[in-house]
Amino acid sequence: MDYKNTKAATTTVTYDKNLIEAPTENIYEAITIIAKRAQQINGDLKSELIEKLEEFATYTDSLDEVFENKEQIEVSKFYEKLPKPTALAVEEWLQDKIYFRNPEEIQE
């Protein structure tokens, strides 16, 4: 998913409990699914950020030298302004974009 072009909230939002629990009919199960998806999103964003920051990495032997790289700062600021992984996961959940199944339910 393109996390940069999402309509997820960047601030705190109150969601309707009935909308959150509607697909599973269990609020705790819905929250667990959303939390697991948020962890996946967080991992994706973190690896993407590290990959982009490594492009600007300078390897020196001296610890006294500190380099300010404007491009690196801009990339970091961009990722800081993105919605939180939890907000992205909730938005995906409300739009029915998360696939989930309960292994305890036997389908015959």
Q: How many domains does the chain divide into?
A: 1
> Does residue 102 surpass a pLDDT of 60?
yes
The pLDDT-based confidence of 68 (bands split at 50, 70, 90) is: low
Tell whether the model's pLDDT for residue 3 goes beyond 60.
yes
CB 2 within 8 A of CB 45: no
Span 19-66, pLDDT tens digits: 999 999 999 999 999 999 999 999 999 999 899 888 877 666 555 455
Alpha-carbon gap, residue 5 to 14, rounded angstroms: 21
Share of the chain above pLDDT 70, in %: 86
Q: What is the mean pLDDT of residues 77-92?
A: 91
Per the domain annotation, does 8 fall within a domain? no
At 90, the pLDDT band (50, 70, 90 cuts) reads very high
pLDDT value at position 59? 67
Asked, for residue 86, whether it belongs to a domain, the answer is: yes
Q: What is the pTM of this model?
A: 0.81
CB atoms within 10 A of CB 105: 6
What's the token pair of residue 29?
Answer: 């199960």
The answer to the question of residue 37 being in a domain is yes
Distance from the Cα of residue 85 to its chain's centroid: 3
- Whether residue 9 is contained in a domain is answered as no
Give the structural domain span for 61: 14-94
In a domain? residue 69: yes
Q: Is residue 90 part of a domain?
A: yes
The answer to whether position 35 is within a domain reads yes
